Amino acid sequence: MSSFLMSVYFNNMTKDELTNFTLTMKDSGDTIYFDNLDHYLVDKHSTGGVGDKVTVVLGPILSAVGMATTKLSGKGLGHTGGTIDKFESIRNFKFSTTKEELVEVASKTGVGLMGYSDNIVPLDKKIYALRDVTATVDSIPLIASSIMSKKLAIQSDLIILDVKVGDGAFMKTIEDARELSRRMVEIGNSVGRKTIAVLTNMEEPLGYNIGNANEIVEGIEALKGNWSDDLKEVVYEIVYLALKHKGEVKTYEEAAKKIDEVIANGRALELLRQFIELSGGDGEVVNNYELLPTPKSVLEVFSEEEGFVTKIKAEEIGKAAMVIGAGRATKEDEVDHAVGIELKKKVGDKVEKGEIIAEIYFNDEKNVQSSKAMVIDAYVIGQEKIENIKNILEVIE
């Protein structure tokens, strides 16, 4: 198997080879079908980034406009927590661990998120361990098959892949992101599962908060209509693509109007509250953020120069959050749900010398000065204002 992985790394795979390999992985374990779930099912997958709370916001919106989310979510390894870590910052919240639990929650709320199970695509886990020791982790066909085998193992009508590009993403260049997207779309479409990839910008963190509890708060605020521009742009684009492929809208403007409605009338927020309650958490958290874990201390970070924010190195911000406990350096590490970083300035903003650019929320002082140094290093201040930041870079179908 190690020899096979090395040969794939050096020689790539044809379309048929990649599709068959992906299906073999999928068939190595359980598959989940929803016989009685009468919804248009959307599985959104993100390749991971810094401050990526899209799933928190997207699920309730898709449900509110008449669809449902059915997806497997993981814990984070690296910069910040994964979707599971974010939701588990809500006391007593438990993700569905069986098909029956998933169907019950999804049928009532339209939001179906399940933690990864050892019974789903077990071959992927074994192969990944080998990829780790054979230096083949960054092989695009192996990444594509790993992601798509898990997508195909759970029923959906549409797979939307949010492929992050840039400093804080696994794919650093648009060329690599485009190639990965093309291979994943090829796999999905060749087995009859409509698949779309959206390439989105990860040159700066998404939104203002990086962490777990604080990202839940930012997600809830978005459902109340208080968005950061970049998060809103990504979520609206994904919902638009889902509505378009369901056949409900023809234009982005039609989709935006539907989303605006379910946010204005509180329907999307109410569905998030119901999802939290059916998952064992306290739904009142959508109105009372004190129910979430809170950090003991806050450290303000000040700008050392004046000008305009021309870049925020997303990976550096992710590491700054990880060293205070918001992410994991190893699989065994515990995440501290209360800690994180809040950005006070984004790319394009004017900043004065001595002005607050970020706040670090922490419980343990051990690494907080290192975190502060990383945040200062992450902010690049220039004299020219950056205009027209593109968050949706490309759509591949």
- Cβ neighbours of residue 393 closer than 8 Å, sequence gap 6 or more: 165, 174, 177, 199, 200, 201
Q: Is 45 a catalytic residue?
A: yes
Annotated catalytic residue within 39, 53, 79, 131: 131
**Comparing C-alpha atoms, which of 204, 144, 147, 149 is closest to residue 178?**
144
Annotated catalytic residue within 44, 45, 151, 164: 45
How many angstroms separate the CA atoms of 327 and 49, rounded? 12
> Is the alpha carbon torsion for 223, 80, 206, 159 positive or negative?
negative
Q: Is 117 a catalytic residue?
A: no
Residue pair 21/222 in contact (Cβ under 8 Å)? The answer is no
Q: Is 146 a catalytic residue?
A: yes
For residue 335, the 8-state DSSP code is P
How many angstroms separate the CA atoms of 169 and 180, rounded? 13
Count Cβ atoms within 10 A of the Cβ of residue 137 and give its class: 0-12 exposed, 13-18 middle, 19 or more buried: middle
Residue pair 54/235 in contact (Cβ under 8 Å)? The answer is yes
For the record, the structure tokens of 307 come out as 């000008």
For the record, the structure tokens of 349 come out as 């903003």
How many angstroms separate the CA atoms of 348 and 385, rounded? 6
Annotated catalytic residue within 146, 149, 279, 371: 146
Annotated catalytic residue within 150, 258, 319, 328: 150
For the record, the structure tokens of 369 come out as 């000065």
How many angstroms separate the CA atoms of 35 and 13, rounded? 34
- CA 266 vs. chain centroid, Å, equals 23
Q: Is 377 a catalytic residue?
A: no
How many angstroms separate the CA atoms of 9 and 350, rounded? 45
CA distances from 201 to 171, 267, 357 (A): 11, 29, 21
The backbone torsions φ and ψ at residue 11, rounded to the nearest 5 degrees and listed phi first, read -115, 0
Active site residues: 45, 124, 131, 146, 150
